[in-house]
């Protein structure tokens, strides 16, 4: 695995997991119908810890999404290597990053909905015949946002990893022709050394 992919995965997952943990904590601290008071013709909603937890979870989610996106752009990963046209892997990476942003946007919307319904405020009551009702948030919005945030982080990391893959045929090749083989080197040395014959001594009579 590329070192940059490993580092990015650790950083983004830390932010995403922390966001999910805060999201699940916020889900356990949401407003219940028994805590809503009716006074002066309006429904009074008290402040809940889910309000602060939801804001922190959304901030961590946005940070994780920005990191994984900016890292890919700054490294030039969205440009085809060698100037060629994008291949199937690049299309798959583009699909992953788009799905990542869709999941992140849905998670952020759920966090915003949960935060707004757990803030200290007043709302008008709903009259249903002889009954006066105070609306409250239903559904596990914080849990849904936490799961969507994790999915967004995983998709973003996958897209970055695909874009960082070394294309086939781009592996380093040995330097052929620069260093002769051992056998050829020995033959060359033998050819360069001329045979030495003993000197002929002429006798003088």
Mean pLDDT of 6-12: 88
Burial zone of 110 (CB within 10 Å; 0-12 exposed, 13-18 middle, 19+ buried): buried
Torsion 97-102-107-111 (CA) sign: positive
Greater confidence (130 vs 137) lies with: 137
Greater confidence (56 vs 178) lies with: 56
Looking at every residue in the chain, the average pLDDT score rounds to: 78
Q: What is the pLDDT of residues 88-135, one digit of tens each?
A: 777 887 888 889 999 999 999 999 999 999 988 888 888 777 777 888
| pTM listed for this prediction | 0.72
pLDDT (0 to 100) of residue 72? 63
pLDDT (0 to 100) of residue 70? 81
């Amino acid at each position: 695995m590329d070192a940059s992919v490993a580092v990015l995965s650790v950083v983004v997952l830390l932010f995403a997991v922390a966001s999910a943990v805060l999201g699940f904590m916020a889900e356990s601290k949401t407003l219940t119908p028994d805590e809503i008071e009716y006074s002066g013709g309006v429904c009074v909603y008290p402040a809940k810890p889910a309000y602060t937890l939801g804001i922190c979870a959304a901030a961590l989610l946005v940070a994780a999404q920005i990191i994984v996106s900016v890292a890919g752009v700054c490294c030039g990963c969205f440009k085809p290597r060698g100037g060629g046209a994008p291949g199937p892997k690049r299309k798959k990476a583009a699909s992953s990053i788009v799905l990542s942003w869709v999941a992140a946007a849905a998670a952020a919307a759920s966090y915003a909905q949960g935060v707004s319904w757990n803030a200290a405020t007043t709302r008008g009551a709903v009259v249903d015949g002889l009954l006066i009702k105070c609306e409250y948030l239903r559904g596990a919005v914080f849990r849904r946002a936490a799961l969507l945030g994790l999915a967004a982080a995983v998709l973003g990391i996958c897209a970055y990893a695909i874009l960082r893959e070394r294309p086939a045929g781009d592996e380093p090749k040995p330097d052929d022709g620069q260093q002769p083989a051992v056998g050829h080197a020995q033959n060359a040395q033998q050819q360069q050394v001329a045979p030495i014959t003993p000197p002929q001594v002429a006798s003088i009579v």
